[in-house]
Amino acid sequence: MGEDQLEELILQVINGAVSTIPSYLEEIKENKETLKVENPQEFVYGIVMGMALGMGGAILSSQKETPTEEDQIMIRDLVYKHIPDIRERIFN
């Protein structure tokens, strides 16, 4: 799988995760006592980043063996490149 294809799949994951932000924020509000989240937006940001990084690794794992350190760095760089957009979509 090429880097462009991987980035496209990661973007799909990011967009899917970002589209669920309203439901995450509502769930946090409804379960405030259980979750004890001080900043719901930062919490959701962590969820989105975790999903994007985790799915990037899972995508590569399904294509070949466990991703190498280089693969993981490539995934990180692809996801980090989209941090400004992710943060804007969560915090605005």
- DSSP secondary structure letters along 25-54: HHHHHHTHHHH--S-HHHHHHHHHHHHHHH
The pTM score is 0.83
Q: Report the candidate in 40, 72, 37, 41 with the shortest Cα–Cα distance to residue 56.
A: 72
The pLDDT score that the predictor gives to residue 48 is: 93
Low-confidence ranges of the chain (pLDDT < 70): 1
Q: Report the candidate in 68, 43, 58 with the shortest Cα–Cα distance to residue 13.
A: 58
The pLDDT score that the predictor gives to residue 92 is: 86
Q: What percent of the chain has pLDDT over 70?
A: 99
The pLDDT score that the predictor gives to residue 43 is: 93
